[in-house]
Structure 1
Amino acid sequence: MIHIRTFRAPDDPEACSKFIVGHKRLLELYGITQITSNVQEWVEDYKTIVILVEDKETKFVYGGARIQLKTDRFELPISSAIGRYDAKIYDMINADDQRGGTCELCGLWNSREVAGMGIGSHVLARVGSVLSAKLPIVSLFVLCAPATVRMGKRVGCVVETSLGNNGLFYYPKEDLVATAMRLRDWNDLSNADDSEREKIISLRENMHQVIEERGPKGVYQLEYNLDIPNLHDAV
């Protein structure tokens, strides 16, 4: 069975290594060799939460994402990515940080083995929204490729049109476009699709569920185990 679990990055170095290798391999298929969210310093950051999609029995990693909290040590990858094009991103992040904390959902990827199952396009964004309610933050940023903008909107994110060209940037290459989006308040899901809102609320209330998911390739069982071990430990 396909299984999703979450953990603080330093708590599982082996899983982080698998995550990095799989993500790098996928990026290279698209000719992308430099991307800010792929800097590997996050593996030592206790404020980085890894979302891992794997086979429950074999531990083969099918994909994942990260939630990186803004700290004094680590800026959000989105600020490094687009800050040189529009410095307003720094003010936006700092304002959210001051009103309660902020983070970024970044490094989303899925392997070819699960392509067409909706894991990279829907499930990981849903989990990001679910986890935002469990973290010391008020908002969540995400930098979306064109194919994943709809994903962000489904879970309640809005395009930050005050940034760049109505939210658009040429990143990570000049021939690729990225869209700056934000879940402005994790407690406000009014912009989310009705079906997604129900799933997000259900998972926030019960973090361990087996749910029947439906993607372009059909129906499959997906086990969610979203409790983050050691989340409140001092570091």
Structure 2
Amino acid sequence: MIQIRTFKAPDDPEACEKFIIGHQKLLEIFGISKITSNRQDWVDDEHTIVILVEDKDTRAVYGGARVQMVSDRFSLPIVTAIGKYDDKIYEMINEDQQRGGTCEICGLWNSREVAGMGIGSYILSRVGVAITKQLPVVSLFVLCAPITVKMGLRLGCTIERELGNDGLFYYPKDDLIATVMRLKNIDDLSLATDMERGKILSLRQDPHQFVVESGPKGAFEVEYNLGIPHLSL
């Protein structure tokens, strides 16, 4: 059975290592050797929450994502990625920090073993939005590839058109485009689709549940364990 669980990065170094290796292998397939969200210094950061997709019995890791909060040690990966091109990103993040805190969903990936199941394109981003309710944040950012912009819109995020070229940047390579998106209020899901809103609210209300999910390859059962242990931020 597939399990999706969440934890602070320092609480499970072994799982973080599997996450990093799997993510790097996927990036190499697309010819990407450097990406800001794949730096490994987050593994001992209390403000990094890992979302892990794994086989519950074998502990084989099939994918994951991170929710990175601003801390004394780190800003958000999006700052490193686009700050040198448009410094207005600093103002946006500082504004949200003053309002109560912000974070970024980053490092999202899934392995070929679960390709076509909707884990990378639907489930991980949905979980990222759902767990922000447990964190000291009021908003979230996400830097989307063209194929994942629709995912952000489904979740209720909007494109930050004041940044870059109408929200667009060339990243992580000159021939690739990324779009800056933000959910300005994690409690306001009015722009999300009805289905996504319902699923996010369900996961927030009951972080531990068994759900039969369906993707292009058919139905499969997922155990969600989304309560973040030892959270004292």
Q: Which residue of 2 aligns with 1:225?
A: 225
Amino acid at match of 2:147: A
Question: Does residue 123 in structure 1 map to residue 119 in structure 2?
Answer: no
2:156: which partner in 1?
A: 156
1:107-157 alpha-carbon deviations (Å, 9 max, x no partner): 000000000111001101100110111100000000011111111111111
State the partner residue of 2:211.
Answer: 211
How much does 1:70 deviate? Answer: 0.5
Residue aligning to 1:185: 185
Question: What CA deviation, in whole Å up to 9, does each residue of 1:78-100 have, x standing for no partner?
Answer: 01000111110010000000110
Aligned partners of 2:226 and 2:123: how far apart in 1? 12
Letter in 1 for 2:101: G
Aligned-pair identity (%): 67
Please give the secondary structure, in 2, of the residue aligned with 1:131.
helix
* Post-superposition offset of 1:223: 1.0
Instruction: Report the AA paired with residue 176 of structure 1.
Output: L
Partner of 1:64 in structure 2?
64
Task: Please give the alpha-carbon distance, in whole angstroms, between the structure 2 residues aligned to 1:221 and 1:150.
Answer: 25
CA distance in 1, matches of 2:218, 2:90: 41
TM-score, structure 1 length as denominator?
0.98
- Once residues 67 and 129 of structure 1 are traced to their aligned partners in structure 2, the CA distance between those partners, rounded to angstroms, is 9
Structure 1 segments unaligned to the other structure (5+ residues): none
Question: 2:194 maps to what in 1?
Answer: 194
How many residues align structurally?
233
Q: Indicate the residue corresponding to 1:137 in structure 2.
A: 137
Q: Which 4+ residue blocks in structure 1 deviate beyond 2 angstroms? A: none
RMSD: 0.7
Query: What is the DSSP-based 3-state SS (H/G/I as helix, E as strand, rest coil) of the residue aligned with 1:147?
Result: helix
1:72 CA displacement: 1.9
Q: Which amino acid aligns with 2:189?
A: L
2:54 is aligned with what amino acid? Answer: E
1:44 match: 44
Q: What is the CA-CA distance between 1:35 and the residue it aligns to?
A: 0.4
Tell me, yes or no, if structure 1 residue 80 matches structure 2 residue 67: no
Any unmatched runs of 5+ in structure 2? none
Classify the secondary structure of the residue corresponding to 2:134.
coil
Q: Deviations over 1:22-68 (max 9, x none)?
A: 00000000000000001110001011000000000000000000001
